[in-house]
Each structure stands twice: as C-alpha cells, then as structure tokens.
C-alpha cells in the first residue's frame, strides 16, 4: 500500500487523527457523514493523506472538522458552487481544482470549486478508480519525485517511462484516457513543464 499506508505505524482505525510524518489521518467523527463509503472512511483514518505534496496535491486536512463537500468548500471560499457540488467529498486540491470522492462511483475526480458559466456543473476530470488507488499513486509519486531532481533530459525520460509503468500497475484506469488527471500530469512531465 506504499509509504502512506505504511506510515500508519500500526495505528488502528479510530485511534485519533492528526499529522505524523507529513501524513494527516482523519478521526472517526470527521469521516462519519452520510454517504461516505466505508473504504473511503477506512483509508482516511488508517492510511491518511499527505498534507503537502506540492506542486501536485495539498490535503483538505482540518483537525476536528468533518471532511467537507465541494458545496461546503465553495461556501467557505465565498464562491458559487455548481448544482452538483454536494455530490463530491473534498480530499484536497491541486494547483487549481478540488480532488474529490465522487458520491455514487467512489472515483477520485478533479473539479473546480466554483460553478461553470451560468452556474452549470463542470464535467469532472477522472483521477483514480478510488481513494485507496489515489493514496497508492500519491505514495509512488512521493517516493519517485525526489529521484527526478538533477536528471538530464535522457534520464528524465527514462524516469518518466518508469513512473508511468508503475502508475499503470497501481491503477490502469488512471491512464485510461489522455484527459485524465494523471495523463495530463505525465504529459507535463514529458514536455519538461514539471
């Protein structure tokens, strides 16, 4: 389950939340809202989420507060939410979108916090099959990203091929479309933007 899951250090679910080794584990009460799939609650309490994986991901980690819906996050930020914003549970953000569990599918998707033109919902961008896969993929990125520093162009290309292969092994659907979040991230790596 990667470094994030291993960082749980044997703590049992419900043993209390908080940040340890850069990973935020949620308390039972924070994940006990209506409709949260059990696998999501369990993953948030046991494996947790990395607090800061800039420039890729920042967890929506607020000790003592429930995991917010996208509608609640939009209200906190003073922006108009889309009509479907209540159907997303916010895990964190990337540089511009909220990364959320989509109710009904339990997929991880990226969606803007603010509604589209005229208040219309913006189609979600697929990220991962589910939260366990997302946590594993982030752990892979966390382990490998530091190895990319200082590489020449040829070495960076080999690194990207290796990262892509390992990512596909963890969650094949993450790279199932050129428009998926991970595919766009890989394209930016190939283009030298990251």
* 183: number of Cβ within 10 Å: 18
Closest CA to 44 of 36, 35, 53, 34: 36
Predicted confidence (pLDDT) per residue in 175-184, tens digit:
999 999 999 9
Q: Are 174 and 129 in contact (CB under 8 A)?
A: yes
> What is the value of pTM for the model shown?
0.86
pLDDT at 191: 82
Domain residue ranges of the chain, discontinuous segments joined by +? 2-129, 132-190
Question: Counting beta carbons within 10 angstroms of the beta carbon of residue 152, is it exposed (0 to 12), middle (13 to 18) or buried (19 or more)?
Answer: exposed
| Cα separation, 43 vs 143, whole angstroms | 19
- Higher pLDDT: 162 or 36? It is 162
**pLDDT (0 to 100) of residue 16:** 55
pLDDT at res. 12: 35
Angle, helix 38-46 to helix 131-148, in steps of 10 degrees: 40
Distance CA 28, CA 104 (A): 21
Residues above pLDDT 70, as percent of the chain: 91
Confidence class for position 63, pLDDT limits 50, 70, 90: confident
pLDDT digits (tens, 9 = 90+) for 93-113: 998 899 999 999 999 999 999
Instruction: Report whether pLDDT(58) > 60.
Output: yes
Confidence of residue 17 (pLDDT cuts 50, 70, 90): low
> How far is residue 155's CA from residue 62's CA, in Å, rounded to a whole number?
39
On the CB side of 158, CA atoms within 13 Å amount to: 5
3 state SS of 111:
strand
Burial class (CB within 10 angstroms; exposed 0-12, middle 13-18, buried 19+) of 15: middle
């Amino acid at each position: 389950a990667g470094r994030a899951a291993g960082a749980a250090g044997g703590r049992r679910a419900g043993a209390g939340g908080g940040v340890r080794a850069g990973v935020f584990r949620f308390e039972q009460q924070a994940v006990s809202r209506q409709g949260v799939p059990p696998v999501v609650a369990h993953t948030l309490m046991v494996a947790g989420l990395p607090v800061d994986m800039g420039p890729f991901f920042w967890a929506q980690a607020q000790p003592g507060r429930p995991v917010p819906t996208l509608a609640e996050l939009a209200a906190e930020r003073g922006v108009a939410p889309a009509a479907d914003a209540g159907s997303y549970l916010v895990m964190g953000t990337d540089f511009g979108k909220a990364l959320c569990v989509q109710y009904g599918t339990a997929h991880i998707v990226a969606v803007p916090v603010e509604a589209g033109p005229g208040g219309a919902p913006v189609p979600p961008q697929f990220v991962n099959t589910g939260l366990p896969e997302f946590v594993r993929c982030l752990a892979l990125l966390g382990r490998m990203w530091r190895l990319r520093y200082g590489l020449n162009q040829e070495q960076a290309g080999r690194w990207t091929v290796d990262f892509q292969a390992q990512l596909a092994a963890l969650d094949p659907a993450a790279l199932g479309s050129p428009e998926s979040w991970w595919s766009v991230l890989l394209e930016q790596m190939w283009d030298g933007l990251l």
